[in-house]
Amino acid sequence: MTIDGLGDFYPGVSFEDLVAMMPDAVREVFPPTRWQLDKLRALDLKVEPVEIADLDHPIHLVAYRRRLVVLDGVHRLLKAHFLRRRWIEARIATATQLQSCAP
């Protein structure tokens, strides 16, 4: 089974495969739900231009468990990937620095 409406773009990748790849922390915040894309597309929504991801701004990462986790800039990271950029500017915070930003 492929992702609803995306089978042509991602052949062989099922919704269940993507959910299995999600880190537990992401799954807790964004529970996996199967969107009914045909109903979404049928909504009478206003179409308006939006600014695309601006690669002039760095993404924000945090070092967590010996990995880098994106805090802000997922769309910029994806845009850079699709443009086949090998590098993107990033600001990397430590967990201690991130805790200092908590309320």
Q: How confident is the prediction along the chain (103 residues), in pLDDT tens digits per residue?
A: 334 444 444 456 676 777 777 777 766 666 666 666 677 778 888 888 777 788 999 999 988 888 888 988 998 999 899 889 999 999 998 888 887 877 7
Radius of gyration, CA atoms only, the chain: 17
Single out the residue of 77, 102, 78 nearest to residue 90, CA to CA.
Answer: 77
Place of tokens 């979404």: 40
Answer whether 0.85 is exceeded by the pTM: no
Do 38 and 67 belong to one domain?
no
End-to-end C-alpha distance for the chain, whole angstroms: 43
All residues at 6 or more sequence positions from 12 whose CB lies less than 8 Å from its CB, including other chains: 2
For residue 22, the tally of other CB atoms under 10 A from its CB is 14
Regarding whether 71 and 41 lie in a shared domain, the answer is no
Question: Do 54 and 36 fall into the same domain?
Answer: no
> What local confidence, expressed as pLDDT, does residue 30 receive?
63
- Considering the domain architecture, whether residues 54 and 100 belong to the same structural domain is answered as yes
Domain extent, residue 67, equals 49-103
Per-residue model confidence (pLDDT) at position 58:
93
Looking at the fold, whether 91 and 55 belong to one and the same domain comes out as: yes
Please give the biggest Cα pair distance in the chain.
46
Does residue 34 share a domain with residue 16? yes
58 and 101 share a domain? yes
Residues 35 and 65 grouped into a single domain = no
